[in-house]
């Protein structure tokens, strides 16, 4: 059964004639996404401090601290939006919620997106931002030895890829990866792409729209930086929480990635919110289970990043 609150949201969007993302230009889609957040997201909760920063190459960052105290671990967060839409503001509330729920600092990354900047620009920005945090964390009063990566949807994809990239570079292991309904296989071949491909906010048409703007060449879909599920070696990766939604086209590839991580010997927790739709965790103004999902993510993050 689809959650009644999710059903009510979908019905309202149909009633009001909200255009499908795949019928819009990227500029229009970004504007709609930014404007619609006021309907589904609550007022931003107050945190201890918010600071605007940028990497050496100019990627905008936003740092949230639960309190002004020094020595806090950090979640580097990559927003969702199909590598095409979304920004620091569309995920401001969620980053604040995670900051408070986990009691950790959150560094939100405004990576480059398609179609203006196609694959692998987003990957390069997210890897660079994580390395920037590790280099500069101590100067900011943060504990750069306790760093997690995380994200939702496209951001979950990028978080998984960052974890792989840093491992392959022989760098110090990350403490954790928080993967919220991640895209893990750009080929979109998992069964849920068919069973959940229409009627549940993220559709097969919108998946194709996002993919075309990010990676137009199908020959690149199997690159592990686009499809971490297809990486040849998934060993020695950080512990992970993989969270999926039951009525999401990405549900099965999220589960497949969790299983693949576990099979490779990693510590993995997997939770599916069976009655939910893609994108629900940012919709806590209208979907109660979003609060539950944030609380779960916060509790797992807090435990993963506490001093050993």
Q: Are 185 and 227 in contact (CB under 8 A)?
A: yes
User: At 167, is the pLDDT very low, low, confident or very high (cuts 50, 70, 90)?
Assistant: very high
Query: Could you read off the pLDDT of 242-298 as tens digits, one per residue?
Result: 999 999 999 999 999 999 999 999 999 999 999 999 999 999 999 999 999 999 999
User: At 69, is the pLDDT very low, low, confident or very high (cuts 50, 70, 90)?
Assistant: confident
User: At 307, is the pLDDT very low, low, confident or very high (cuts 50, 70, 90)?
Assistant: confident
Mean pLDDT of 116-122: 98
- Concatenating the DSSP letter of every residue in 68-111 gives S-S-EEEEEEE--STTTS--TTTTHHHHHHHHHHHTSEEEEE--
User: At 79, is the pLDDT very low, low, confident or very high (cuts 50, 70, 90)?
Assistant: very high
Predicted local distance difference test score (pLDDT) of residue 88: 98
Q: Are 276 and 249 in contact (CB under 8 A)?
A: no
Is CATH 3.30.1490.100 the right assignment for the domain spanning 4-305? no
Predicted local distance difference test score (pLDDT) of residue 172: 95
Predicted local distance difference test score (pLDDT) of residue 135: 97
User: At 73, is the pLDDT very low, low, confident or very high (cuts 50, 70, 90)?
Assistant: very high
The residue from 108, 153, 192, 284 that is catalytic is 153
User: At 65, is the pLDDT very low, low, confident or very high (cuts 50, 70, 90)?
Assistant: very high
Mean pLDDT of 37-59: 97
Alpha helices in the chain, H assignment, sequence order: 4-15, 26-40, 92-102, 121-136, 154-168, 192-195, 204-214, 251-263, 289-305
Tokens of 228: 């971490």
Report which DSSP code applies to 287. -
Q: What is the largest CA-CA distance in the chain?
A: 52
Quick one: which of 143, 120, 133 has its CA closest to 76?
133
Distance of CA 289 to the CA centre of its chain: 17
Predicted local distance difference test score (pLDDT) of residue 70: 87
Sheet order of strands, 49-54 included: 49-54, 60-65, 105-109, 72-78, 142-152, 176-180, 240-247, 268-277
The residue from 110, 152, 185, 248 that is catalytic is 248
Does the pLDDT value for residue 308 go beyond 80? no
- In sequence order, the 6+-apart residues with CB closer than 8 A to the CB of 218 are none
The residue from 79, 91, 213, 278 that is catalytic is 278
User: At 305, is the pLDDT very low, low, confident or very high (cuts 50, 70, 90)?
Assistant: very high
User: At 55, is the pLDDT very low, low, confident or very high (cuts 50, 70, 90)?
Assistant: very high
What is the percent of the chain where pLDDT is above 90?
98
Whether 153 sits among the annotated catalytic residues: the reply is yes
Predicted local distance difference test score (pLDDT) of residue 5: 98
User: At 302, is the pLDDT very low, low, confident or very high (cuts 50, 70, 90)?
Assistant: very high
Whether 278 sits among the annotated catalytic residues: the reply is yes
Per-domain boundaries in the chain: 4-305
Predicted local distance difference test score (pLDDT) of residue 27: 98
Query: Could you read off the pLDDT of 126-159 as tens digits, one per residue?
Result: 999 999 999 999 999 999 999 999 999 999 999 9
């Amino acid at each position: 059964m689809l959650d009644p609150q999710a059903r009510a949201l979908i019905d309202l969007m149909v009633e009001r004639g909200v255009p499908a993302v795949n019928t819009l230009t990227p500029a229009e889609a970004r504007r709609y996404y930014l404007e619609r957040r006021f309907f589904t997201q609550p007022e931003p909760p107050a945190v201890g401090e918010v600071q605007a920063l940028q990497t050496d190459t100019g990627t905008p960052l936003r740092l949230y601290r639960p309190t002004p105290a020094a020595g806090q671990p950090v979640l580097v967060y990559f927003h969702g939006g199909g590598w095409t839409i979304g920004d620091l503001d569309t995920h401001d509330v969620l980053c604040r919620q995670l900051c408070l729920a986990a009691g950790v600092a959150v560094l939100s990354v405004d990576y480059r997106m398609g179609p203006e900047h196609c694959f692998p620009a987003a990957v390069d920005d997210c890897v660079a931002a994580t390395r920037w945090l590790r280099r500069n964390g101590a100067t900011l009063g943060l504990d750069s030895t306790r760093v997690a990566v995380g994200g939702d949807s496209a951001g979950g994809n990028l978080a998984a890829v960052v974890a792989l990239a840093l491992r392959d570079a022989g760098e110090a292991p990350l403490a954790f990866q928080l993967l919220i309904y991640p895209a893990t296989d750009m080929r979109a071949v998992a069964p849920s792409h068919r069973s959940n491909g229409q009627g549940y906010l993220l559709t097969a048409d919108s998946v194709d729209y996002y993919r075309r703007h990010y990676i137009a060449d199908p020959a690149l879909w199997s690159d592990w930086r686009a499809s971490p599920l297809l990486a040849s070696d998934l060993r020695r990766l950080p512990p992970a929480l993989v969270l999926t939604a039951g009525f999401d086209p990405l549900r099965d590839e999220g589960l497949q990635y969790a299983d693949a991580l576990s099979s490779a010997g990693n510590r993995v927790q997997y939770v599916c919110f069976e009655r939910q739709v893609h994108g629900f965790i940012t919709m806590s103004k209208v979907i109660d289970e979003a609060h539950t999902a944030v609380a779960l993510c916060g509790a797992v993050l807090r435990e993963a990043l506490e001093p050993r």
